[in-house]
Protein backbone atom coordinates (compact mmCIF):
# COMPACT_ATOMS: atom_id res chain seq x y z
CA UNK A 1 0.00 0.00 0.00
CA UNK A 2 1.33 3.46 -0.94
CA UNK A 3 1.54 5.85 2.00
CA UNK A 4 1.07 9.59 2.35
CA UNK A 5 2.27 11.95 5.08
CA UNK A 6 0.33 15.13 5.87
CA UNK A 7 1.96 17.69 8.16
CA UNK A 8 -0.64 19.76 9.96
CA UNK A 9 -2.85 16.73 9.36
CA UNK A 10 -5.10 17.34 12.35
CA UNK A 11 -6.38 20.58 10.85
CA UNK A 12 -9.17 21.54 8.48
CA UNK A 13 -7.72 20.70 5.06
CA UNK A 14 -5.51 17.89 6.34
CA UNK A 15 -8.32 15.80 7.79
CA UNK A 16 -10.50 16.13 4.68
CA UNK A 17 -7.53 15.36 2.44
CA UNK A 18 -6.83 12.21 4.46
CA UNK A 19 -10.34 10.91 3.72
CA UNK A 20 -9.87 11.58 0.00
CA UNK A 21 -6.53 9.76 -0.01
CA UNK A 22 -7.96 6.77 1.84
CA UNK A 23 -10.67 6.44 -0.82
CA UNK A 24 -7.84 6.25 -3.34
CA UNK A 25 -6.20 3.44 -1.39
CA UNK A 26 -3.39 5.28 0.39
CA UNK A 27 -2.37 4.67 3.96
CA UNK A 28 -2.20 8.07 5.66
CA UNK A 29 -0.12 9.44 8.53
CA UNK A 30 -1.23 12.74 10.06
CA UNK A 31 1.59 14.63 11.74
CA UNK A 32 0.45 17.39 14.10
CA UNK A 33 1.41 18.93 17.44
CA UNK A 34 -2.21 20.08 17.98
CA UNK A 35 -1.29 23.69 18.56
CA UNK A 36 -4.05 24.39 16.01
CA UNK A 37 -5.40 21.00 14.94
CA UNK A 38 -8.24 19.61 17.04
CA UNK A 39 -8.88 16.26 18.63
CA UNK A 40 -12.61 16.01 18.02
CA UNK A 41 -15.05 13.26 17.08
CA UNK A 42 -14.44 13.79 13.37
CA UNK A 43 -10.74 13.13 13.84
CA UNK A 44 -11.54 10.18 16.11
CA UNK A 45 -13.76 8.70 13.40
CA UNK A 46 -10.97 9.13 10.88
CA UNK A 47 -8.48 7.41 13.19
CA UNK A 48 -10.83 4.44 13.59
CA UNK A 49 -9.49 3.41 10.17
CA UNK A 50 -6.44 1.20 10.87
CA UNK A 51 -4.68 2.66 7.83
CA UNK A 52 -4.80 6.19 9.27
CA UNK A 53 -2.33 7.05 12.02
CA UNK A 54 -1.73 10.18 14.08
CA UNK A 55 1.89 11.13 14.76
CA UNK A 56 1.92 13.74 17.52
CA UNK A 57 5.17 15.59 16.90
CA UNK A 58 6.41 19.17 17.04
CA UNK A 59 7.88 19.68 13.60
CA UNK A 60 10.12 22.45 14.96
CA UNK A 61 12.13 19.88 16.93
CA UNK A 62 15.28 18.70 15.19
CA UNK A 63 14.41 15.05 15.78
CA UNK A 64 10.71 15.27 14.89
CA UNK A 65 11.03 13.21 11.69
CA UNK A 66 13.97 10.98 12.64
CA UNK A 67 11.97 7.84 13.47
CA UNK A 68 9.41 8.04 10.66
CA UNK A 69 9.17 5.35 8.02
CA UNK A 70 10.76 6.12 4.67
CA UNK A 71 8.09 4.49 2.51
CA UNK A 72 6.00 7.60 1.76
CA UNK A 73 5.28 8.34 -1.88
CA UNK A 74 3.32 11.56 -1.20
CA UNK A 75 4.13 14.28 1.34
CA UNK A 76 1.76 17.21 1.88
CA UNK A 77 3.23 20.09 3.87
CA UNK A 78 0.27 21.98 5.32
CA UNK A 79 1.76 22.91 8.71
CA UNK A 80 2.50 26.61 9.21
CA UNK A 81 2.42 29.40 11.77
CA UNK A 82 -0.68 31.36 10.75
CA UNK A 83 -3.36 33.56 12.29
CA UNK A 84 -3.81 37.31 12.66
CA UNK A 85 -2.40 37.36 16.20
CA UNK A 86 0.85 35.69 15.13
CA UNK A 87 1.20 37.75 11.97
CA UNK A 88 0.67 41.08 13.74
CA UNK A 89 2.30 40.36 17.10
CA UNK A 90 5.07 37.91 16.23
CA UNK A 91 6.09 38.48 12.60
CA UNK A 92 9.67 37.31 13.13
CA UNK A 93 8.36 34.02 14.55
CA UNK A 94 6.15 33.58 11.47
CA UNK A 95 9.07 34.15 9.11
CA UNK A 96 11.61 32.05 10.99
CA UNK A 97 9.44 29.10 11.99
CA UNK A 98 7.64 28.71 8.67
CA UNK A 99 11.03 28.50 6.94
CA UNK A 100 12.29 25.95 9.48
CA UNK A 101 9.17 23.82 9.12
CA UNK A 102 9.52 23.61 5.36
CA UNK A 103 13.29 23.05 5.40
CA UNK A 104 12.81 20.12 7.75
CA UNK A 105 10.20 18.58 5.43
CA UNK A 106 12.38 19.15 2.36
CA UNK A 107 15.29 17.43 4.12
CA UNK A 108 13.01 14.52 5.02
CA UNK A 109 11.68 14.33 1.45
CA UNK A 110 15.25 14.03 0.17
CA UNK A 111 15.64 10.84 2.22
CA UNK A 112 12.54 9.15 0.77
CA UNK A 113 13.57 6.63 -1.91
CA UNK A 114 10.11 6.44 -3.48
CA UNK A 115 8.94 10.05 -3.19
CA UNK A 116 6.64 10.94 -6.06
CA UNK A 117 5.51 14.35 -4.85
CA UNK A 118 6.03 16.95 -2.16
CA UNK A 119 3.03 19.30 -2.14
CA UNK A 120 3.63 22.67 -0.46
CA UNK A 121 0.63 24.71 0.67
CA UNK A 122 1.33 28.35 -0.17
CA UNK A 123 -1.42 30.99 -0.05
CA UNK A 124 -3.43 33.38 -2.20
CA UNK A 125 -1.91 36.12 0.00
CA UNK A 126 1.20 36.03 -2.21
CA UNK A 127 -0.76 38.21 -4.65
CA UNK A 128 -1.42 40.93 -2.03
CA UNK A 129 1.41 43.28 -3.01
CA UNK A 130 0.47 43.27 -6.67
CA UNK A 131 -3.16 43.80 -5.74
CA UNK A 132 -2.17 46.82 -3.65
CA UNK A 133 -0.63 48.40 -6.74
CA UNK A 134 -3.89 47.80 -8.67
CA UNK A 135 -2.03 45.79 -11.30
CA UNK A 136 -3.37 42.34 -10.43
CA UNK A 137 -5.61 40.74 -13.06
CA UNK A 138 -8.84 39.23 -11.76
CA UNK A 139 -9.43 36.30 -12.21
CA UNK A 140 -5.80 35.89 -11.15
CA UNK A 141 -3.53 33.44 -13.02
CA UNK A 142 -0.60 31.74 -11.31
CA UNK A 143 1.93 33.61 -13.47
CA UNK A 144 0.77 37.05 -12.30
CA UNK A 145 3.88 38.97 -11.20
CA UNK A 146 4.37 38.94 -7.43
CA UNK A 147 5.14 42.28 -5.80
CA UNK A 148 6.11 42.44 -2.14
CA UNK A 149 4.45 44.95 0.20
CA UNK A 150 6.77 46.95 2.48
CA UNK A 151 8.89 44.45 4.39
CA UNK A 152 8.59 46.30 7.71
CA UNK A 153 4.86 45.64 7.86
CA UNK A 154 4.03 42.78 10.24
CA UNK A 155 1.32 41.60 7.82
CA UNK A 156 3.99 41.00 5.17
CA UNK A 157 5.61 38.26 7.27
CA UNK A 158 3.15 35.49 6.40
CA UNK A 159 3.03 36.01 2.64
CA UNK A 160 6.81 36.49 2.56
CA UNK A 161 7.31 33.16 4.35
CA UNK A 162 5.18 31.53 1.66
CA UNK A 163 6.95 33.25 -1.25
CA UNK A 164 10.27 32.09 0.20
CA UNK A 165 8.79 28.62 0.63
CA UNK A 166 7.74 28.53 -3.01
CA UNK A 167 11.27 29.46 -4.06
CA UNK A 168 12.74 26.74 -1.84
CA UNK A 169 10.47 24.13 -3.38
CA UNK A 170 11.17 25.20 -6.94
CA UNK A 171 14.94 25.10 -6.36
CA UNK A 172 15.20 21.96 -4.24
CA UNK A 173 15.34 19.39 -7.05
CA UNK A 174 12.59 17.27 -5.48
CA UNK A 175 9.35 16.53 -7.36
CA UNK A 176 7.28 19.36 -5.90
CA UNK A 177 3.91 20.98 -6.56
CA UNK A 178 2.95 24.33 -5.03
CA UNK A 179 -0.71 25.05 -4.30
CA UNK A 180 -2.31 28.43 -3.60
CA UNK A 181 -5.70 27.90 -1.91
CA UNK A 182 -8.38 30.58 -2.39
CA UNK A 183 -11.29 30.97 0.05
CA UNK A 184 -11.70 27.30 0.92
CA UNK A 185 -14.56 26.69 3.37
CA UNK A 186 -16.58 23.87 4.85
CA UNK A 187 -17.13 21.68 7.90
CA UNK A 188 -14.47 21.71 10.62
CA UNK A 189 -12.74 24.94 9.53
CA UNK A 190 -13.17 26.81 12.83
CA UNK A 191 -15.12 30.02 13.26
CA UNK A 192 -12.63 32.72 12.25
CA UNK A 193 -13.70 32.77 8.59
CA UNK A 194 -16.45 34.68 6.83
CA UNK A 195 -18.89 31.83 6.11
CA UNK A 196 -18.87 30.18 9.57
CA UNK A 197 -18.82 33.64 11.20
CA UNK A 198 -21.94 34.68 9.30
CA UNK A 199 -23.61 31.33 10.01
CA UNK A 200 -22.92 31.70 13.72
CA UNK A 201 -24.24 35.28 13.85
CA UNK A 202 -27.36 34.35 11.89
CA UNK A 203 -27.94 31.26 14.03
CA UNK A 204 -27.70 33.28 17.24
CA UNK A 205 -29.74 36.29 16.01
CA UNK A 206 -33.42 36.45 16.98
CA UNK A 207 -35.90 35.93 14.16
CA UNK A 208 -36.76 39.36 12.82
CA UNK A 209 -33.43 40.75 14.01
CA UNK A 210 -30.35 41.98 12.19
CA UNK A 211 -27.25 40.33 10.76
CA UNK A 212 -24.07 42.41 10.93
CA UNK A 213 -22.01 42.09 7.75
CA UNK A 214 -18.62 43.64 7.03
CA UNK A 215 -17.29 44.39 3.54
CA UNK A 216 -20.67 43.83 1.87
CA UNK A 217 -19.48 44.97 -1.55
CA UNK A 218 -16.28 42.94 -1.62
CA UNK A 219 -16.40 40.03 -4.02
CA UNK A 220 -15.11 36.47 -3.71
CA UNK A 221 -15.33 33.02 -5.21
CA UNK A 222 -15.63 30.30 -2.57
CA UNK A 223 -14.38 26.73 -2.89
CA UNK A 224 -15.97 23.97 -0.80
CA UNK A 225 -13.50 21.71 0.96
CA UNK A 226 -14.66 18.64 -1.02
CA UNK A 227 -13.67 20.34 -4.26
CA UNK A 228 -10.43 21.68 -2.78
CA UNK A 229 -9.15 18.29 -1.62
CA UNK A 230 -10.12 16.66 -4.91
CA UNK A 231 -8.05 19.26 -6.74
CA UNK A 232 -5.11 18.89 -4.33
CA UNK A 233 -5.13 15.09 -4.56
CA UNK A 234 -5.26 15.15 -8.35
CA UNK A 235 -2.41 17.65 -8.46
CA UNK A 236 -0.34 15.31 -6.28
CA UNK A 237 -1.16 12.29 -8.45
CA UNK A 238 -0.63 13.87 -11.88
CA UNK A 239 2.91 13.78 -13.35
CA UNK A 240 2.00 16.92 -15.29
CA UNK A 241 1.89 18.91 -12.06
CA UNK A 242 5.52 18.33 -11.06
CA UNK A 243 7.26 21.69 -10.73
CA UNK A 244 4.03 23.63 -11.15
CA UNK A 245 2.40 26.41 -9.12
CA UNK A 246 -1.38 25.95 -9.13
CA UNK A 247 -4.37 27.80 -7.78
CA UNK A 248 -6.86 25.82 -5.72
CA UNK A 249 -10.32 27.32 -5.77
CA UNK A 250 -13.37 28.15 -7.83
CA UNK A 251 -13.43 30.67 -10.66
CA UNK A 252 -17.17 31.22 -10.63
CA UNK A 253 -19.57 32.37 -9.46
CA UNK A 254 -17.96 35.52 -8.10
CA UNK A 255 -20.33 36.83 -5.44
CA UNK A 256 -20.45 39.77 -3.07
CA UNK A 257 -20.29 39.26 0.67
CA UNK A 258 -23.84 40.64 0.76
CA UNK A 259 -24.96 37.79 -1.51
CA UNK A 260 -23.19 35.31 0.77
CA UNK A 261 -25.04 36.79 3.73
CA UNK A 262 -28.35 36.43 1.91
CA UNK A 263 -27.64 32.73 1.24
CA UNK A 264 -26.70 32.31 4.91
CA UNK A 265 -29.96 33.91 6.04
CA UNK A 266 -31.95 31.62 3.77
CA UNK A 267 -30.02 28.60 5.03
CA UNK A 268 -30.63 29.42 8.68
CA UNK A 269 -34.29 30.05 7.89
CA UNK A 270 -34.85 33.36 9.65
CA UNK A 271 -36.12 36.78 8.66
CA UNK A 272 -33.01 38.92 9.19
CA UNK A 273 -32.12 42.38 7.93
CA UNK A 274 -28.52 42.95 6.84
CA UNK A 275 -26.77 45.64 8.88
CA UNK A 276 -23.96 47.03 6.75
CA UNK A 277 -20.66 47.50 8.58
CA UNK A 278 -17.39 49.02 7.26
CA UNK A 279 -14.93 47.04 5.15
CA UNK A 280 -12.53 44.88 7.11
CA UNK A 281 -9.06 46.52 7.15
CA UNK A 282 -6.72 44.83 4.69
CA UNK A 283 -9.52 42.93 2.96
CA UNK A 284 -9.12 42.99 -0.86
CA UNK A 285 -12.14 44.17 -2.83
CA UNK A 286 -11.94 41.14 -5.13
CA UNK A 287 -10.34 37.71 -4.88
CA UNK A 288 -10.89 35.22 -7.66
CA UNK A 289 -8.41 32.68 -9.02
CA UNK A 290 -8.01 31.86 -12.69
CA UNK A 291 -8.55 28.09 -12.61
CA UNK A 292 -7.90 27.34 -16.29
CA UNK A 293 -4.39 25.95 -15.73
CA UNK A 294 -5.44 23.77 -12.77
CA UNK A 295 -8.49 22.50 -14.64
CA UNK A 296 -6.39 21.62 -17.68
CA UNK A 297 -3.83 19.73 -15.59
CA UNK A 298 -6.28 17.86 -13.34
CA UNK A 299 -9.38 17.49 -15.51
CA UNK A 300 -11.43 18.72 -12.55
CA UNK A 301 -13.66 21.74 -12.04
CA UNK A 302 -15.28 22.56 -8.71
CA UNK A 303 -18.78 21.06 -8.49
CA UNK A 304 -20.25 21.97 -5.11
CA UNK A 305 -22.59 24.95 -5.44
CA UNK A 306 -22.30 27.74 -2.89
CA UNK A 307 -25.85 27.10 -1.69
CA UNK A 308 -25.20 23.39 -1.13
CA UNK A 309 -21.81 24.06 0.44
CA UNK A 310 -23.17 26.59 2.92
CA UNK A 311 -25.99 24.18 3.79
CA UNK A 312 -23.59 21.31 4.48
CA UNK A 313 -21.38 23.62 6.52
CA UNK A 314 -24.33 24.84 8.60
CA UNK A 315 -25.55 21.29 9.20
CA UNK A 316 -22.10 20.33 10.51
CA UNK A 317 -21.86 23.34 12.83
CA UNK A 318 -25.36 22.71 14.15
CA UNK A 319 -24.26 19.27 15.30
CA UNK A 320 -20.77 20.19 16.49
CA UNK A 321 -20.53 23.83 17.56
CA UNK A 322 -23.69 25.94 17.63
CA UNK A 323 -26.04 26.04 20.59
CA UNK A 324 -29.27 24.17 19.87
CA UNK A 325 -31.14 26.71 21.99
CA UNK A 326 -30.22 29.63 19.74
Which domains does the chain carry?
A: 3-184+225-248 (3.40.50.720), 186-221+252-288+304-320 (3.90.25.10)
Biggest distance spanned by C-alpha atoms of the chain: 62
Cα–Cα distance measured from residue 309 to residue 239, given in angstroms and rounded to the nearest whole number: 30
∠ CA 113-175-130, nearest 5°, is 150
Mind listing the pLDDT tens digit for each residue in 207-216?
Answer: 999 999 999 9
Mean pLDDT value of segment 82-87: 86
pTM of the model: 0.96
pLDDT band at 326 (very low <50, low <70, confident <90, very high): very low
Mind listing the pLDDT tens digit for each residue in 241-257?
Answer: 999 999 999 999 999 99
pLDDT band at 38 (very low <50, low <70, confident <90, very high): confident
List b or e across 273-303, with b for residues whose CB sees 16 or more CB atoms inside 10 angstroms. Answer: ebeeeeeeeeebeebbbbbebbbebbeeebe
∠ CA 71-13-310, nearest 5°, is 150
Mean predicted lDDT score pLDDT of the chain: 95
What's the DSSP call for residue 47? Answer: H
* Cα dist from 115 to 52, 57, 190, 246, 279, whole Å: 19, 21, 32, 20, 45
Confidence (pLDDT) at 84: 83
Amino acid sequence: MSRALITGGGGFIGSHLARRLRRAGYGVDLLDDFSRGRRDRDLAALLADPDVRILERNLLRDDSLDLLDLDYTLVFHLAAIVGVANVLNAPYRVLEENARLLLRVIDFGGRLPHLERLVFASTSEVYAGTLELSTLPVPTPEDAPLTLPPLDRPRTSYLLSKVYGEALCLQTGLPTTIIRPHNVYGPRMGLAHVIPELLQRAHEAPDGGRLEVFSVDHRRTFCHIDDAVELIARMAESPRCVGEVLNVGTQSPEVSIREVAEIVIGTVGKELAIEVLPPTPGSPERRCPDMSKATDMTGYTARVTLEHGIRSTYDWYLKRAFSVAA
